[in-house]
A and B are shown apart, each in its own frame.
Chain A
Amino acid sequence: MDVPEKTHKGWEDIVTGRKAYVLKSLAVKMVLGSLTLSVRGDSSPGNIAACIDQLHDVFAKNAHTPSVQEDLKTIFG
C-alpha cells in the first residue's frame, strides 16, 4: 500500500489522538508516543503540521517494512 499524502485527514486524526489504533511497528509507535504527547502540550496548527510531517516521513522511509505496511492498512484501510 502506498503512503497517503500528508493532506489525508487520517494523519491529523492520529497525531491529535482523535483516533487510536493498535499498531505493529516499533518505530511508528515510539514516534507516535512522542508526537501525541507533543500535541497534548501544544495543539497549534503549526505543531500539528510538524508532527504530521515527522510521522509521514517515518512511514514514507520505511514503507517496505512488513510491520509498517500492516500499520498503513490498519490506519488508512
Chain B
Amino acid sequence: MRQHIMSIDDASALIWEDRTLILAGDEDALRQLPQGNWIGGTIPYFITADQGGIATRDMVFVTDLTGTVTGVEVTYYDQNTIPSVYSDGPQHGFSFIIIPASSLTHLSFALNAPSYKDFGVRPLIGWVSGMHLDDLGKKTPKVFNGQTGEAFEEGALVLQAELPPDKVAEIGIVNLFEQGDGDTLVFPSDGFVVKSVLVNGEKQNFAAYLKDKKLDTHLPLVADYYGVQVNISFQAIHEAEGTVQFYAPVFSGVHYKHAKPVGDYVQGFGRLLEKECSLEANRLVFSCNCILNYLYSELEGKKTAPFTGPMTFGEIAYQLLNQTLVYLQVHEV
C-alpha cells in the first residue's frame, strides 16, 4: 500500500531514507518534519485503512511515490503563473498540486482552470489544504515544500512526477451525488458568490429561492459535464445581502440541478464502487475525499476501502471539485 497514516517519527524516518513523499497533516506536525524530498499540505482529517475516518493533530498521512515515479520536480506557482500548470506538466507522468484554501491562487485556479492552456492534456490531481475546524479564524491553510523547508499560505506547490515508459497515470473520481429531478438552474456569470439565477429560464434571487424551496444545502448543486457529475457545494446563504456563497465557482451557461439525497454514504459508496469502478487496489497511488463528506456523512470511524487519504477543503481532478473522492491510478501498458 502506498498510503499510510503514521507518527511524526516514522514519517521523519522515511524522509531521511530520501523517499519521495506527499504529506498531509496539521501545521504543527508538518513543521516538525525534516527537510527532504516531499511536499505537504495542512489538514488533520483522514480516512485510514485501519480506523476509518479520524481527526488527529499528532499523525501524518503519507503517500509514498518512491518506486512509482522515476523523477520529480517541485515548482511553486502563484496566481500569475498558475495558468501554465498544465503546459508545464511532465511529458510522461502526472502533476500533483496542493493549494491553500482561500488563497488568491486557489480562487484563480478554481475560476479559470478549464480555460488554461493544455487543460486536460496532462494529468493534474491534488487537493486544497485546510485546517482543524476548531482553528478557523486562528490559523491559515498552508502548503510545505520539504525540499526547502518553506511554508506558504499563498500560492501552490506542484510536484511534477515522471513515470517509466511502460506506465501511465490515470485520474478517476467517485461521486455519490447526481442531478435530482428538480428545477434547472443557470447562473448569469462565473463566481463563488451569486445573487440571481435563472430557474427554468425565470430570473429569481437565489437565496430567496433556496429558502422558499427549503432545499437541503448539505446536498450540492450538480452539473453534468459530458457524463461526469460535477458538484458545487454550498458554503453560506447571506439572507441580508441576498447572496449565496459556494466552495467552488458556478459557471455561466452550465445547467445545474440540486442533488438527489444519497442516504447512507458508506453503503452508497460500496454500491457505486461495485457498479462503476473497475479499480485494482495495486494500481492505486493516491486518493483523497472531501471534508464535507466527512462531516455531513459522519465518516468518523467509517471506512471507504480501498480508498484512504486526507479529507480536504477541495479536491482537484484536472479542475476543482467538491464533495468528491478523487484518485490516481498508475497502469502498466
Chain A positions within 8 Å of B114 at CB level: 30, 34
Given A27-B318, A57-B118, A66-B170, are A33 and B123 also a contact pair (CB < 8 Å)?
no
A25 and B228 CA atoms in complex are apart in Å by 10
When distances are taken between beta carbons in the complex, the residues of chain B under 8 Å from A73 are none
Q: With A27-B318, A29-B228, A34-B225 as known contacts, state yes or no: A57 contacts B168, CB within 8 Å.
A: no
Interface flag for B319 (CB, 8 Å): yes
Is A9 part of the binding interface, using a Cβ–Cβ cutoff of 8 Å? Answer: no
Chain A residues 20 to 77 lying within 8 A of chain B, measured CB to CB, are: 22-23, 25-34, 36-37, 40-41, 54, 57-58, 61-62, 64-67
Report the interface size class on chain B.
20 to 34
* Residue in B closest to A35 when the chains form the complex, CB atoms: B226
Beta-carbon contact of A33 and B168 below 8 Å: no
Contact yes or no, B333 A37, CB < 8 A = no
Which of chain B's residues have a CB closer than 8 A to the CB of A25?
A: 170
**Interchain CA distance A54-B170 in the complex, whole Å:** 19
With most chain B CB atoms within 10 A of its CB, the pick from A25, A30, A64 is A30
| Cβ B121 vs Cβ A67 within 8 A | no
From the candidates B115, B120, B172, B253, name the one contacting A28 in the complex (CB within 8 A).
Answer: B120
Tell whether, in the assembled complex, residue A27 and residue B168 are in contact, meaning their CB atoms are under 8 Å apart: no
A27-B333 CB under 8 A given contacts A36-B226, A61-B122: no
The residues of A that contact B223 with a CB separation of less than 8 Å are 33
Q: How many chain A residues have a CB neighbour from B under 8 Å?
A: 25
The answer to whether B331 and A61 have CB atoms under 8 Å apart is no
Q: Which residues from A are CB-within-8-Å of B118?
A: 57
B253 touches A40 (CB 8 A): yes
B114-157: CB near A (< 8 Å → 1, else 0) gives 11001111110000000000000000000000000000000000
B253 and A37 form a contact (CB under 8 A) = yes
Question: CA separation between A25 and B230, bound complex, in Å?
Answer: 15
Query: Do B226 and A23 touch across chains, with their CB atoms under 8 A apart?
Result: yes
Name B172's contact: one of A26, A31, A61, A64 (CB within 8 Å).
A26
The CA-CA distance from A21 to B60 in the complex, in Å, is 42
Q: A26 contacts B331, CB within 8 Å?
A: no
- Given A61-B121, A65-B170, A29 and B226 touching (CB < 8 A)? yes
Judge whether B171 is part of the interface by a CB distance below 8 angstroms: yes
| A-side contacts of B333, CB under 8 Å | 64-66
- Chain A residues closer than 8 Å to B172, beta-carbon distance: 26
8 sampled A-B residue pairs with Cβ under 8 A: A28-B226, A30-B226, A33-B226, A33-B230, A41-B253, A54-B121, A57-B118, A65-B168
Q: Which residues of A contact B (CB under 8 A)?
A: 22-23, 25-34, 36-37, 40-41, 54, 57-58, 61-62, 64-67
Q: Besides A27-B121, A33-B224, 20 other CB < 8 A contacts? A: A23-B227, A25-B170, A26-B170, A26-B171, A26-B228, A26-B317, A29-B227, A29-B228, A30-B120, A30-B317, A31-B120, A32-B226, A33-B228, A33-B230, A40-B253, A54-B119, A57-B121, A61-B121, A65-B170, A65-B331
